[in-house]
Structure 1
């Protein structure tokens, strides 16, 4: 059986998708791919971040290069305005055909409704493109911040996934940031599956604790 593809999206930007992706890559011994990277004029990029996170750990993933690497820290659609020679199409994103027996974490750009193409395709459309182009199971993990505002953002994200017909492909949500049991309890009352609560990490000990919060891949219903 081929290994699963885990698509990591967020309820917003800067909610901890890359850090969470690095945790998943390390815990589940996955490879990593960021299909569309923006913001390279001010940042080294998420692939480098995952590399650096894993470099001192137990697993060094194969890092597939982004299909598109854009300079401005904007959504891919708007970033293309500054590099008009790029014209992103969903068909440009072809899943790697090698290493199909190794789980693959794919990190999206921003949240679930981030505009990607000039045809106004969004992250949801990219996920559907991947689902229809592979026999591998594709599953979605939503990263949400723990604090104020997360209820609205997370419930809207889950509602959108439901309306897009993707709820059956969604494993659940990882909540990132200072623990907030009240918010988690309310999300669960609305039927959101909370896979893990990951606190802020500043030391190796913190990261070890965070990794311990991530469930085993074999324990999830893929």
Structure 2
């Protein structure tokens, strides 16, 4: 039976793919990003996750939609003359843990009627919310937590990415009433070994089992 964990972010480009790679590698899980936009720029996150996680190729599931334009899913799909269907985003049935990465943030449109969070609500799996520690993150994080709670989506906890800002991290966890799972620091150089070491140092893998 699939044991899914959804990795989403408070914004785009904040490090959720790097976190998802670290988590999937630590769990020995499968990884799935159902919608990939922007392959004309860098090829996609599946390839990056494989390089950073060390997972075997057969543990990285193919996307349901793989779109060229680096834009919101609804717009990237429209540019290719298609419409993303929520029915096509049905969760796969795999054995063992599955780390699922959303496209962008929670309120990103999948099509003109559906948001990314609607897909999460249909899966009913716990969510890890990835948030940066920089200025502005309290507002974005608390709004994201409120949106998840409003749809009764379980929140496993919040994972921070960036430099340590203790008061900000504490404020989000306490006011959002969520567990702070840990913080992934800036990693230079970023490779499989350094990412695995940082994850093991700053997170407890048992929190995700």
Specify if TM > 0.5: yes
Q: Which moved more, 1:140-149 or 1:157-166?
A: 157-166
CA distance in 2, matches of 1:205, 1:15: 18
Map of 1:76 onto structure 2? 73
- Aligned-pair distance for 1:87? 1.6
Deviations 1:42-88 (A, max 9, x none): 11100000011123xxx53601000000111111111122111x221
Structure 2 unaligned spans of 5+: none
Q: Is the Cα–Cα contact under 8 Å of residues 8 and 17 in structure 1 kept in the other structure?
A: yes
Distance 2:173 2:128 in 1: 15
Partner of 2:134: 147
Deviation at 1:187, TM superposition (A): 1.2
1:135 alignment partner in structure 2: none
Q: Is the 8 A contact 1:10 1:143 kept in 2?
A: yes
Query: With structure 2 as the length reference, what TM-score do the two structures score?
Result: 0.91
1:213 deviates by 1.6
Distance 2:168 2:56 in 1: 34
- Counting matched residue pairs gives 204
Deviation at 1:4, TM superposition (A): 1.6
Verify the 8 A CA contact 1:23 1:211 in the aligned structure 2.
Answer: no
- d(CA) in 2 for partners of 1:33 and 1:211? 22
> Alignment RMSD, CA only?
1.6
| 1:182 alignment counterpart | 167
Counterpart among 107, 125, 146 of residue 159 in structure 1? 146
SS of corresponding position for 2:144: helix
1:126 correspondence with 2:123: no
Looking at secondary structure, tell me which structure has more helix per residue. 2
Task: Kindly indicate whether residue 87 of structure 2 is the aligned counterpart of residue 91 of structure 1.
Answer: yes
* Aligned pairs (5 A) from 1:1-222: 2-55=1-54, 59-60=55-56, 62-84=59-81, 86-97=82-93, 99-100=94-95, 102-118=96-112, 120-131=113-124, 138-166=125-153, 169-190=154-175, 191-203=177-189, 204-205=193-194, 207-217=196-206, 219-220=207-208
TM-score by length of 1: 0.86
Say which SS state the counterpart of residue 8 (structure 2) adopts.
strand
Counterpart in the other structure of 1:134: none
